[in-house]
Amino acid sequence: MAAAAPRTGAEIRAAFLDFYEQRGHKPMASASLVPEDPTVLLTIAGMLPFKPVFLGQQQRPAPRATSSQKCIRTNDIENVGRTARHHTFFEMLGNFSFGDYFKEQAIQWAWELSTGVFGISPKNLVVSVFREDDEAEAIWRDVVGVNPKRIVRMDEADNFWASGPTGPCGPCSEIYYDFKPELGDEGIDLEDDSRFIEFYNLVFMQYNRDAEGTLTPLANRNIDTGMGLERMAQILQQVPNNYETDLIYPLIQTAADLAGVDYQALDEKGKTSLKVIGDHSRAVTQLICDGVTASNLGRGYILRRLLRRVVRHGRLLGIDKPFLKAMGQSSIALMQAVYPQLLERQEVILAELEREEARFLETLERGEKLLADVLAAKPQQISGEQAFELYDTYGFPLELTEEIAEEHGIRVDLAGFESAMEAQRQRAKAAAVSIDLTLQEAIDQVAADLDATAFRGYELLEQSSCVLALVVNGEPAQVAAAGDSVQVVLDTTPFYGEGGGQVGDRGVLAGDGLIVAIDAVSRNRSVFVHSGRVERGSLSVGAVVHGQVDRTCRRRAQANHTATHLLQAALKQVVDPGIGQAGSLVDFDRLRFDFHCPRAITAEELEQIEALINGWIAEAHNLEVQEMAIEKAKAAGAVAMFGEKYADVVRVVDVPGVSMELCGGTHVANTAEIGLFKIVSESGVAAGIRRIEAVAGAAVLAYLNERDGVVKQLSERFKAQPAEIVERVSALQNELKASQKALAAAREELALAKSAALAAQAETLGDYQLLVARLDGVEGGGLQSAAQGLADQLGDGGAVVLGGLPDPADLSKVILVAAFGKGVIAKGQQAGKFIGAVAKTCGGGGGGRPNLAQAGGRDGAALDGALEQARAELSVALA
């Protein structure tokens, strides 16, 4: 009698490891969630601990290995709880071959494990292979015996693994579970998440990719696989999602008990909150166990964010007292058998959970007070900007804002909130995009054949050099004439090539009758590329030219770059010693510094930072620049940018007693050369990342002159002294508010007057009265009042939908309102859901209460069609 297939999470884990240990694999304990690899914050994949082995940087621990590796990923955090299988914490079961067995053996064992040990029927399995991997397809088809119709070829994005742009890489093959095999083998679409789930990924590391993209077979080929424990548990336990497996569901039950709710009886929103709590509770417990503490930076910020999401969702479920300790205790009890260190560090884990929850509850309290202040002003609605500030600055969930506002009969501008959220996403996207220094194909090919350019710009601002290569108007050439756009490679150069956030130098290349204006210098690998235009004479390969850096531009860049180092030092001193750089830009007329910090820097702190930096400038510190071994530099306290790769010997820029950083940029010799430093702005550009923009040196004068000009214009217009401008503007604002309030009241009266005649147009549908009409020239508040008034006239069976353009000449703003009587709601219609769906026709959205709701749109031309849609749908629903 065959043994029963493993079903529990513990049984699945043990069966996997036993299977491969019996086949000569060395069992390896899970590595910490805090990796040794400095290029990643957390362990994100099962293969990460073995990455140095695959890259040839470490000796292999054995020819074959197997492990169950705990992992953390937060890139798709918003999907946690919403999909069937997104997680922050998960376990990856893996088997690895370091130059031992390869493709055929890995495929056979994967199939044997899946169908034999786990007892999955071949009818429920589908295999994917890389589109060019004929070998893998043949093994699956001819050796294993998989039905050819259930082997799917996929593109590089899905089925090709690489460690980076260069280095080891190879095709993948994945095994999918088919929940609906009865649908047959024709037209299989593995993107259909409702039918298929990928549970086992086999990576065949067989190539090395060079800088040109050429693939060369590796002498020692490797195998790297990963099976998601949670996914296999879902399959074998036959539950609808990963959360309802025995790996997570006990935590969901703990949270449900604390909230006094029944998971199975909840709507999707409530279930999602419980899933988030269950998932994140595992993650935070394991993170703290591995030594991560909550902070404003890096791993600490990830932990803090997860902790706060748990508290938020607990609040949404009605848990109004501290509960993280209880979730931590439940998490430890659930996982301690396989991770006994959880029990060893239980006291530390629970103390950190309690401490962080207390801090966040204080933050939430501040958010609630701010919301109370907003509501005290009795606004018609809470603006999208206000709701977003509560969410972004105070961690106050939008759902809580909506709930509290609804209790006061006020709605939240959801479209405005989404607009503010999208603006932040775009800022984050812009902040995350690094500058692409890859030049066009011609110069890329030219640079690949040349040795590194000798840079002399630290000591010299002009020198003679030989032209090694030339690209004219995008094509390799030997000669360039006046008017040509050129890219020039020299054997040696005084021009700084863009790098480390600092822009490249400007200047000229001169010769006998020759002038080439250089407006940018970049780096292609280690080759400096001078881009510009031939203004006079001709330039040829082999010619000797005299390069002259624009001294004014260089001085400005140097001042801004040294000021950037001082800014980082000041932030560490004033805000948080753990502040870390997230990016920078050093230009000729400004500087920008991005850094990890989950909150805005206060005005008082900005003043302190400015004063500190200007004090260091006035103290006239001589800079000390030297090259040294990287380990010696780090031991001396030099600051390195996290994730940046450095050579064995590095350049250290030291402002004694103030700042010491690894940096290849150009700097002033003495801080006094900077002259003055002025912060222009401070803002958020992504979650947990702030940005300070500033000016230094000569650029400060230009900035102050511009501001002085604005003040003079305002003084003339207001007929006031500069010191009186603020008071005058405040008075005008108060007058404007009063006028706007009066205008809104008048418009509301006008809307009511206009709508009075509409009641007679209502259609009778049995026991119901339907009125759909267009009313332009009325703002949202007036349209709501009109709709409510009409619904009151029509009684419990009344269904009113009004739409209009507040400004008939502006088709970019549409307002739609629905008001439903009690009878219509009893019929199953809800104003919020109904009007939100209709608004999509106008390119918008919205919602509100079942009896009264408002939505917006951006396509006024579609308004009539949207109203006809509303009339048709309600006519059918109420018939």
Look at residue 436 and tell me whether its pLDDT is greater than 60.
no
For residue 45, the model assigns a pLDDT of: 86
Closest residue by Cα to residue 550 from 514, 585, 586, 519: 519
What the block records as the tokens of 466 is 């030989």
- pLDDT tens-digit profile of 320-336? 899 999 999 999 999 99
For residue 456, the model assigns a pLDDT of: 93
Considering 11-15, 477-481, 500-504, the range whose residues carry the highest mean pLDDT is 11-15
For residue 394, the model assigns a pLDDT of: 66
Q: Identify the band that residue 81 occupies on the pLDDT scale cut at 50, 70 and 90.
A: confident
Mean pLDDT value of segment 615-624:
95
Look at residue 498 and tell me whether its pLDDT is greater than 50.
yes
Q: Identify the band that residue 428 occupies on the pLDDT scale cut at 50, 70 and 90.
A: very low
For residue 816, the model assigns a pLDDT of: 94
Look at residue 734 and tell me whether its pLDDT is greater than 60.
yes
For residue 444, the model assigns a pLDDT of: 67
Please state, in angstroms and rounded to a whole number, the distance separating the CA atoms of residues 9 and 236. Answer: 9
For residue 653, the model assigns a pLDDT of: 93
Mean pLDDT value of segment 804-831:
92
For residue 288, the model assigns a pLDDT of: 92
For residue 751, the model assigns a pLDDT of: 65
- Which DSSP string do the residues of 460-506 spell out, in sequence order? -SEEEEEEEEEEETTEE-SEE-TT-EEEEEESEESSPPSBTTBPPP-
Considering 274-278, 371-375, 540-544, the range whose residues carry the highest mean pLDDT is 274-278
Please state, in angstroms and rounded to a whole number, the distance separating the CA atoms of residues 285 and 89. Answer: 10
Q: Identify the band that residue 685 occupies on the pLDDT scale cut at 50, 70 and 90.
A: confident
Look at residue 296 and tell me whether its pLDDT is greater than 70.
no
For residue 434, the model assigns a pLDDT of: 30
Closest residue by Cα to residue 91 from 108, 73, 109, 116: 73
Look at residue 432 and tell me whether its pLDDT is greater than 50.
no
For residue 120, the model assigns a pLDDT of: 95
- Which DSSP string do the residues of 634-657 spell out, in sequence order? HHTT-B--TT----SEEEEEEETT
Mean pLDDT value of segment 536-565:
93
Look at residue 13 and tell me whether its pLDDT is greater than 70.
yes
Residue of 786 and 550 predicted with greater confidence: 550
Mean pLDDT value of segment 674-686:
88
- pLDDT tens-digit profile of 88-118? 999 999 999 999 999 999 999 999 999 999 9
Residue of 315 and 819 predicted with greater confidence: 819
Look at residue 520 and tell me whether its pLDDT is greater than 80.
yes
Look at residue 24 and tell me whether its pLDDT is greater than 90.
yes
For residue 338, the model assigns a pLDDT of: 92
For residue 375, the model assigns a pLDDT of: 83
For residue 645, the model assigns a pLDDT of: 53
Look at residue 175 and tell me whether its pLDDT is greater than 90.
yes
| Cβ neighbour number for residue 96 with a 10 Å cutoff | 31
Look at residue 687 and tell me whether its pLDDT is greater than 70.
no
pLDDT mean across residues, the chain: 87
- pLDDT tens-digit profile of 555-575? 999 999 999 999 999 999 999
Please state, in angstroms and rounded to a whole number, the distance separating the CA atoms of residues 847 and 406. Answer: 12
Mean pLDDT value of segment 514-518:
95
Look at residue 449 and tell me whether its pLDDT is greater than 50.
yes
pTM of the model: 0.50
For residue 799, the model assigns a pLDDT of: 94
pLDDT above 70 coverage of the chain, percent: 92
For residue 838, the model assigns a pLDDT of: 92
| Residue type, position 136, single letter | A
Mean pLDDT value of segment 272-297:
89
Mean pLDDT value of segment 698-720:
83
For residue 157, the model assigns a pLDDT of: 84
Mean pLDDT value of segment 660-669:
92
For residue 433, the model assigns a pLDDT of: 33
Tell me the C-alpha to C-alpha distance, in Å, between residue 119 and each of 12, 68, 232: 12, 20, 12
For residue 831, the model assigns a pLDDT of: 92
Look at residue 430 and tell me whether its pLDDT is greater than 50.
no
Look at residue 517 and tell me whether its pLDDT is greater than 90.
yes
Residue of 328 and 407 predicted with greater confidence: 328
Dihedral over alpha carbons 289, 290, 296, 302 (to 10 degrees): -90
Please state, in angstroms and rounded to a whole number, the distance separating the CA atoms of residues 103 and 115. Answer: 18
Q: Identify the band that residue 399 occupies on the pLDDT scale cut at 50, 70 and 90.
A: low
Dihedral over alpha carbons 618, 622, 625, 631 (to 10 degrees): -80
Task: Determine the length of the chain.
Answer: 879
For residue 164, the model assigns a pLDDT of: 65
Please state, in angstroms and rounded to a whole number, the distance separating the CA atoms of residues 36 and 34. Answer: 7
- pLDDT tens-digit profile of 499-514? 888 999 999 999 988 9
Q: 186-220: b or e for each residue (b if 16 or more CB lie within 10 Å)?
A: eebebeeeebbbbbbbbbbbbbbbeeeeeeeebee
Dihedral over alpha carbons 815, 819, 820, 825 (to 10 degrees): 60
Look at residue 165 and tell me whether its pLDDT is greater than 90.
no
Q: Are strands 507-511 and 624-629 parallel, antiparallel or unpaired?
A: unpaired
- Which DSSP string do the residues of 14-79 spell out, in sequence order? HHHHHHHHTTTPEEEPPPPSS-S-TT-SS--STTGGGHHHHTTSS--SSSEEEEEEEEE--TTGGG
Mean pLDDT value of segment 208-216:
82
Q: Say which range, 158-162, 292-296, 541-545, 851-855, has the weakest mean pLDDT.
A: 292-296
Look at residue 607 and tell me whether its pLDDT is greater than 90.
yes
Mean pLDDT value of segment 181-200:
91
For residue 429, the model assigns a pLDDT of: 44
For residue 644, the model assigns a pLDDT of: 52
Look at residue 376 and tell me whether its pLDDT is greater than 90.
no
